[in-house]
Amino acid sequence: MHGLMDCNNFFVSCERVFNPALEGKPVVVLSNNDGCVISRSNEAKALGIPMGIPVYQIRDLVRQQNVQVISGNHTLYLDLSNRVMNVLGSEVERLAIYSVDEAFFDVPFDDDEKIYGLIAPIAKKIKKYVGIPVSIGAAPSRTLAKIASHIAKKERVDTDNVYLLTDMKAVPERLKKIPVGDVWGIGRRLDASLKEYGINTAYDFTQMSRTWVKSQYSIVAERTQQELLGHDYAQITAVTESKQTITTSRSFGTTVRDIRTLSDAVVTFASNCGKRLRDQNSLTGMVTVHIRGDMHNENMPFYTNSCQLRLAMPTCSTMEIVKYALLALRSIYREGYGYKKAAVTLSDITDNRAMQLNLFEPTDEPRQKKLMKAIDKINAHCGDTAVHLLAQGSASTWKPHMTYRPAKQGPLRIYSGMTRKEDNND
């Protein structure tokens, strides 16, 4: 058996941990640059606010229904995600973290009573220790476990947020109620194609010939079908595994027109990539910088370009990564254009214990590693940018809009009707 833990309305739940005044109110969390809705409370869903809608399109609804609007704080969400996963990992076997708010795990029982006795206390423990409500489903396959978790979230909110989909005789009736496009592994393109054949529900998909599914689509679609029938085929790539590429990108709060401000952003992104690279004990051999103009501004010429540079030696040093990132930026920067987004990507990533040395490159990599370790230790204790390169942090005009970010000090503040409004109840 497999289990899936899914945090309920995760970003909203994180905000409620530090601001209990948000409980019971419609809340939405916005994406980078306060662009779109990326998380909704149940109360906001009940108002008909769809996922991904640009915030400007719901301004009237926000004012009328007193919806609380919050700028995303992904550093906070990642920290609380780590706490949730630590609690879950202490209770289960073979944890595979699938995303920031989801994780699969093995269930070493076949008996429903024993399975329930394992996972029900986990949901309560996570809520008690971290403050995040979660839903947990268990089933013979991971795809069915996702369905069970979804059922737990939608139908068990007033009980224990746990659902077991272990009786295969009861599965077909459940699958008849699930649109085929909602099945994990069925994308939009496959969904549209299946509907052309009259396959509208997950149950319809299971009734098709296995050979036909494989020949008409792919082995991935075939495995998804077999997962719905209770066979375990899904291959899970845990996010805890070392990444083969690391990217940091942001859309700017304002259009950037000078290389100094653009360099500040690129240095910040490169520094972030370097820290993430060291966190997974890896080295990079390639740095790529991408810049893009504002395609929606008809009054300004559009320009986009990227440059990829191979390092002389693999490294995890922020100084080396920044040096190459700036070289790449200067080679593609053009005056007279406005820039709305930049990205830094590290690739050709290898384990730091298997570094290929270069006879003609006298870089003192061991010394660099010690320096980076010391800087990371200081920043972990004193703040992410307590020690940083001089080229980083001199400009702030490029930073994304966070109009609805809660205040760091003083009484709790909630943002009502798209305007800041202080809550006098501490």
User: For the chain, what is the total number of helices (H) and then of strands (E)?
Assistant: 14, 15
Q: What pLDDT, on the 0 to 100 scale, is given for residue 422? A: 38
Query: 233 exposed, middle or buried (CB, 10 Å; 0-12, 13-18, 19+)?
Result: middle
| pLDDT beyond 80 at 271 | yes
309, pLDDT greater than 60: yes
**pTM > 0.85: yes or no:** no
Write the pLDDT tens digit of every residue in 189-221: 888 888 888 989 999 999 998 998 888 888 888
Domains, the chain, ranges and CATH? Answer: 1-166+401-426 (3.30.70.270), 167-241 (1.10.150.20), 246-382 (3.30.1490.100)
Task: Tell whether the model's pLDDT for residue 388 goes beyond 90.
Answer: no
Report the candidate in 3, 2, 7, 23 with the shortest Cα–Cα distance to residue 127.
Answer: 7
**Sorting pLDDT into bands at 50, 70 and 90, what band is 331?**
very high
Q: What is the pLDDT of residues 35-69, one digit of tens each?
A: 899 999 999 999 999 999 998 899 999 999 999 99
Q: How far apart are CA 369 and CA 204, in angstroms?
A: 56
The whole-number pLDDT of residue 409 equals 38
Residue pair 376/326 in contact by the 8 Å Cβ criterion = no
Query: Of 86-95, 232-241, 291-300, where does mean pLDDT reach its minimum?
Result: 232-241
Average pLDDT over residues 403-417: 49
Average the pLDDT over each of 104-108, 126-130, 343-347, 400-404 and give the range with the smallest value: 400-404
SS3 240: coil
Q: Are 38 and 11 in contact (CB under 8 A)?
A: yes
Q: What is the pLDDT of residues 142-157, one digit of tens each?
A: 999 999 999 888 876 5
Q: What is the pLDDT of residue 368?
A: 79
CA distance 187 to 189: 6
Q: Packing angle between helix 365-382 and helix 259-279, nearest 10 degrees?
A: 100
Encoded tokens for 208: 């098709």
What are the phi and psi torsion angles at 45 (to 5°)? Answer: -60, -40
Please tell me what DSSP assigns to residue 425.
-
d(CA 371, CA 378): 11
